[in-house]
């Protein structure tokens, strides 16, 4: 089943081994190519297409300059970025992989340094910028207090997501994923841990999901009916009941997203609360995806320490998910899908140039 195609709307993805979005923090940080993918991104993504991944999702790509996690993040708010992505999507498509993009706004976790430099927040004198959030609540100690988004500011971010989706289509992407996970802006609105508003975007569940639904509606309005939209969610903040977003909330939101034309829920967890201890292990997030699928009948993808071909196959055949997203394992081995095919006695897909490697 891992190598069976999956059709969403009119798009058929050739297998269910997909590459999860993983930030590379390697884009230009100044000049006309700020935020545009370069040779590193081309080589990084192209290798996974040659390796046999059925769908390749780019890293979190900011819909505006202030939406970047770091100054070195990718963006899709101008023509140069759009053109640079076109080179990548063309290669992925020619070599059998579906090109997808994750659109994001980092909210209060924006304006941070690269992880290998410590990942600390950057001041304006260090190449950083003021951050925004649903409420003036910093992510953690040492983080600045973000500016609370006004109603006009919210409308502006929604418009940025729609504009980036239009650019993504022109750049050749066939899947767009809205990033609502890991404590970035959409996830900040969802959770009472980070959303302390008292207006129409805060308080009860119906208000806290309003921003997410407005983004989805705006993207669906400009994205072709024949192409799918994904939504990445953190199924839980891993906080005690009543203090944050929960799996129950995720199931409720999933039903709302399905009604608005989202085709797949990409189920992750965490990232919105600092200092939280998470008991990780092989497939530790799979039960969240399984519950959404069981209670909604919706198409879901599982992610999180999926590393073994037989483990991945079991997740699908047991009905816990419809696809698996691999992250670190594909960093370690770009050819994991081909190795998995051999382990499962499936003929691997490989470029003609590599046929002699049988």
pLDDT digits (tens, 9 = 90+) for 35-70: 999 999 999 999 999 999 999 999 999 999 999 999
Catalytically annotated residues: 184
Rounded distance, CA 321 to CA 267, Å? Answer: 10
Rounded distance, CA 257 to CA 254, Å? Answer: 5
Residue 9 confidence (pLDDT): 98
Q: What are phi and psi of 107, to 5 degrees?
A: 60, -130
Residues sharing a CB contact under 8 Å with residue 156, sequence separation 6 or more, in sequence order: none
pLDDT digits (tens, 9 = 90+) for 86-143: 999 999 999 999 999 999 999 999 999 999 999 999 999 999 999 999 999 999 999 9
Residue 37: how many other CB atoms lie within 10 Å: 27
- Looking at the whole model, is its pTM more than 0.85? yes
**Cβ(197)–Cβ(222) below 8 Å:** no
* Predicted confidence (pLDDT) at residue 358 exceeds the cutoff of 80: no
Rounded distance, CA 39 to CA 142, Å? Answer: 34
Q: Mean of the pLDDT values across residues 156-165? A: 98
Q: How confident is the model at residue 14 (pLDDT cuts 50, 70, 90)?
A: very high
Q: Average model confidence (pLDDT) for the chain?
A: 97
Q: Which domains does the chain have, with CATH numbers?
A: 17-346 (3.20.20.70)
């Amino acid at each position: 089943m891992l190598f069976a195609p999956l059709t969403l709307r009119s798009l058929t993805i050739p297998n269910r081994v997909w590459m999860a979005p993983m930030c590379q923090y390697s884009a230009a940080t100044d000049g006309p190519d700020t935020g545009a993918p370069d040779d590193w991104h081309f080589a990084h993504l192209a290798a996974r297409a040659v390796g046999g991944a059925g769908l390749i999702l780019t890293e979190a790509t900011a819909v505006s300059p202030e939406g970047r996690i770091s100054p070195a993040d990718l963006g899709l708010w101008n023509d140069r970025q759009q053109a640079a992505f076109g080179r990548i999507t063309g290669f992925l498509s020619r070599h059998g992989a579906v090109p997808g993009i994750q659109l994001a706004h980092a909210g209060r976790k924006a304006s941070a340094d690269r992880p290998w430099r410590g990942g600390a927040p950057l001041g304006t004198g260090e190449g950083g910028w003021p951050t925004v959030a649903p409420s003036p609540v910093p992510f953690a100690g040492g983080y600045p207090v973000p500016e609370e988004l006004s109603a006009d500011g919210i409308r502006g971010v929604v418009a940025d997501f729609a504009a980036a989706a239009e650019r993504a289509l022109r750049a050749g992407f066939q899947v767009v994923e809205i990033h609502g996970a890991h404590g970035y802006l959409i996830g900040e609105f969802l959770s009472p841990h980070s959303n302390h508003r008292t207006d129409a975007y805060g308080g009860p569940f119906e208000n806290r999901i309003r921003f997410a639904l407005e983004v989805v509606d705006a993207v669906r309005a400009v994205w072709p009916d024949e192409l799918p939209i994904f939504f990445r969610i953190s199924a839980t903040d891993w906080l005690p009941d009543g203090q944050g977003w929960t799996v129950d909330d995720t199931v409720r939101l999933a039903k709302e997203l399905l009604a608005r034309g989202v085709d797949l829920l990409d189920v992750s967890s965490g990232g919105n609360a600092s200092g939280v201890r998470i008991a990780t292990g092989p497939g530790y997030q799979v039960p969240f995806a399984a519950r959404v699928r069981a209670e909604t009948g919706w198409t879901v993808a599982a992610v999180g320490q999926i590393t073994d071909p037989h483990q991945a196959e079991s997740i699908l055949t047991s009905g816990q998910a419809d696809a698996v997203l691999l992250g670190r394992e594909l960093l370690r081995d770009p050819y994991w899908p081909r190795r998995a095919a051999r382990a499962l006695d499936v003929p691997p897909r490989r470029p003609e140039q590599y046929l002699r490697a049988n």
